Structure 1
Amino acid sequence: MADIDDRWHRRGPDGKPVRTDRYGVGARWLVRWRDPDGKQRKKSFTRKTDAESFAASLEHGLRSGSYIAPEAGRVQVGEWAKRWLDAQGHLARSTFVRYEIAINTHILPRWGNVHLSSIKHADVQVWVSGLAKEWSAASVIKVHGVFSQMLAWAVKDARLARNPAEGVRLPRPALPDHRYLNHAQVAALADACGSYGIVVRFLAYTGLRWGELAALKVGRVDLQRRRVLIAESVTEVNGELVWGTPKTHERRSVPLPRFLADELASRIEHRPDDALVFTSPQGGVLRVRNFRRRVFDAAVRKVGPQGFHPHELRHTAASLAIASGADVKIVQQMLGHKTATMTLDLYGHLFPDRLDEIADRMDRAASAPNVTRK
């Protein structure tokens, strides 16, 4: 229970309030309570209405189990960000580095010296709106996501009653203009890449991410069943190669067209299971920046389309699979998307328009002889 009293109030010889080191000039009302650990606490107010409001909120927190100690949120964001990052050891190295960059570049300059308890929803909204004027919507969304995760962790640690970053209006990212190559364009680009043409064909017909292709080992390829097991990924972070699981942290099996399986045979026969299928000229990991500089970009300038990026071969794979009749669940599995919704959000417009087909079926059903009309 919380008690309010003014018996502790000190006055001078003239009867007026005197300055106290702890409570300040004019402080009159004191709220006393015991926290869940049984510790005696108190907080002073200059107005009785403020003391009563605080006491009521305090009572609710103590009864509902949502009590937050007044000093719990007196941790500066800079210190909290370090604690939070130290607790993210479960993240892939590449993701950790992206979070670290977001914190150092955007979060700490604005919030580093601010106490957790002083962060207001309106201030977060103003900050996000300011970022949106200088950075892309996708970048702003990612930065806000990191900040919101940090504050959500503070809520779980009973330092904040709620997350002030929740409900902030974020900029809408522009829908990407995906480019898709047809079979003839894939063949032309692959031919222009010379001996590395198989890399182009492999990406265009499997939909692997670059890191998954670069990490693919001989033992993961089953030519008889024409399947590739995707279980690893390798990413270059600040010049360092970081190995880990695929983006969704789940293994998946990807089908190989027969022509691609036949082409891979010469690359994997009589090689150890732990050997990389695709390598650099020196035999190491095939890095996307080096591949573009040495091979891919020159081929694109020769045959187009202008500015085409290796990652767009993943979009091409989705397009070719859908055109061949694959349904959304098959495309989801092949690409390693977490949900079919994500696949539809990205490639739903590529699926055949079956609205007329559905309407015709309903028309035939409604026109059947056994349907009675009044």
Structure 2
Amino acid sequence: MASIRKRGNSYLLVVSMGYDPEGHRHKPQQKTVHPPEGLTPKAKEKWLEEEAALFERQCKNQPLPVDKSITLAEYTAYWLAHIAPGKLAKSTLARDKQDIDRFLPALGSYKLTDLKPEHFRNLYATLRKQKNSVTGKPLSESTVEGVHACLCGILSDAMEGGFLSQNPAWRTYKYAGKKKQKRNVADEETTKRLIAALEKESIKYETYFKLIIATGMRRGECCGLKWKDVDFFEKSIHICRNVVKVTGEDIIVKEPKTAAGERYVYFSLEMSSLLKEYRAFCERELELHEGRELTSEDYIFRRHGADLPMTPSTFTWRFKLILKKHNLPQDLNVHSLRHTAASLMISGGADVATVSGLLGHSQVSTTLDIYTHAFDEKKREVSAQMQGRMGV
């Protein structure tokens, strides 16, 4: 495939054209491309791969064998049966199936080759007027954006499979309204109140929620921890599993989605004491209810009577009860604790690369995108301190 080289805000695609009979290299073909604005790092990578594949075919005169009769509904059925199971996690596939149910009624009868940008724009405008069947409120913009991402993914695979010469969905979506910049984060006072509230709850829930506040791990990662992952000497935790529960499916324990997801995080002496106290509690519970000793292979947050981790949604439900019981802000959720941990790291002076590594982001740009506000606050604080020292 063509190589992709970053050049400032653009990218250079380079296709090697091989050698002549005397062994002299033919001049490579080059093309500069500019990705659409607003793409996530992952979407940008996919767009560039498409452009590179298309440019290589053009350079080598390899026209795509386009099937002009297949409809979007027919290709989507093929995609669900033969492509998606091998490339998507079950949780992602379940979400994509919801998105497919939203776009097929409007676009399913169109042939792939007849799809035009206006078809997608009209779809998104229609979806914004629909109401959520559960809440009765209009569909959120993130839902509409998810449908667009799903369509782009399916049509990208159609392009790679030779059904299309280009992806007609690119550049057809524009976020409506203002994107929410600040995440739901507990400020210092709220965090102190929350910690005080957790200390009045079961030691299991106290340990779980404090671990997320202390380390910034995801709720599924916390559920996937085993006692062997905790090193009390180094005061570190090896995050190497994620727990996912898809409606109608058994609980799934899987490896992190990216290499960056497998990582080590660190805890304090106080957290160490709590973990040891919780381990002693687990040992007593196992002895009492199952008549055995706790092992390093046991999940830290384990289902009673089963060699399975607890479900992340159990902690989501419990957290809402704790917030309500102790008159804490109701707009917080378990993921807010991860954002709170990141904000505490940043306010403590951690640089973006360190924060990115501890959170398990595959790219530093992701951390910057999510926590721009927190880093800007830190910059203002540092600037004010510097100017104060200089008397300006």
* TM interval, short-chain normalised: 0.7 to 0.9
Match of 2:78 in 1: 83
Match of 2:372 in 1: 348
Distance 1:323 1:174, change over 3 A: closer
Instruction: Name which of 204, 208, 224 aligns with 2:213.
Output: 204
Distance 1:124 1:78, change over 3 A: same
* Inter-partner Cα distance in structure 2 for 1:62 and 1:323: 51
Matched, 1:330 2:354: yes
Paired residues of 1:217 and 1:274 also in contact (CA < 8 A): yes
Aligned length: 301
Match of 1:151 in 2: 155
Q: Which moved more, 1:234-243 or 1:183-192?
A: 183-192
Paired residues of 1:300 and 1:307 also in contact (CA < 8 A): no
* Inter-partner Cα distance in structure 1 for 2:274 and 2:209: 13
Larger CA Rg, structure 1 vs 2: 1
What letter matches 2:117 in structure 1?
Answer: H
Distance 1:63 1:180, change over 3 A: closer
* Inter-partner Cα distance in structure 1 for 2:181 and 2:384: 30
Matched, 1:185 2:197: no
SS in 2 for 1:67: coil
Match of 1:265 in 2: 276
> How far off its partner does 1:66 sit?
4.9
| TM-score normalised by structure 2 residue count | 0.69
What letter matches 2:294 in structure 1?
Answer: R
* Inter-partner Cα distance in structure 2 for 1:150 and 1:243: 26
* Inter-partner Cα distance in structure 2 for 1:220 and 1:316: 23
* Inter-partner Cα distance in structure 2 for 1:338 and 1:296: 28
> How far off its partner does 1:275 sit?
0.6
Match of 1:219 in 2: 228
* Inter-partner Cα distance in structure 2 for 1:342 and 1:308: 22
Instruction: Name stretches of at least 5 consecutive residues in structure 1 with no aligned partner.
Output: 1-60, 365-374
> How far off its partner does 1:177 sit?
4.1
Match of 2:251 in 1: 241
* Inter-partner Cα distance in structure 1 for 2:256 and 2:163: 34
Instruction: Name which of 119, 129, 138 aligns with 2:125.
Output: 129
Distance 1:132 1:225, change over 3 A: same
* Inter-partner Cα distance in structure 1 for 2:381 and 2:199: 40
SS in 2 for 1:261: helix
Match of 1:305 in 2: 329
Instruction: Name stretches of at least 5 consecutive residues in structure 2 with no aligned partner.
Output: 1-56, 131-138, 281-292
* Inter-partner Cα distance in structure 2 for 1:319 and 1:353: 10
* Inter-partner Cα distance in structure 2 for 1:245 and 1:310: 21
* Inter-partner Cα distance in structure 2 for 1:262 and 1:136: 43
Instruction: Name which of 273, 295, 314 aligns with 1:290.
Output: 314
> How far off its partner does 1:138 sit?
1.1
Distance 1:359 1:238, change over 3 A: closer
Aligned-pair RMSD on alpha carbons? 2.8
Match of 1:317 in 2: 341
| TM-score normalised by structure 1 residue count | 0.72
SS in 2 for 1:271: coil
Match of 1:114 in 2: 110
* Inter-partner Cα distance in structure 1 for 2:127 and 2:304: 43
Match of 1:26 in 2: none
> How far off its partner does 1:361 sit?
8.1
Matched, 1:72 2:72: no
Matched, 1:274 2:297: yes
* Inter-partner Cα distance in structure 1 for 2:71 and 2:223: 42
Q: Which moved more, 1:221-230 or 1:262-271?
A: 262-271
Paired residues of 2:240 and 2:263 also in contact (CA < 8 A): yes
Give the fraction of aligned pairs with identical amino acids, expressed as a percent.
27
Distance 1:340 1:166, change over 3 A: same
* Inter-partner Cα distance in structure 2 for 1:307 and 1:262: 30
SS in 2 for 1:354: helix
In the TM superposition, structure 1's runs of 4+ consecutive aligned residues that sit over 6 Å from their partners are 358-362
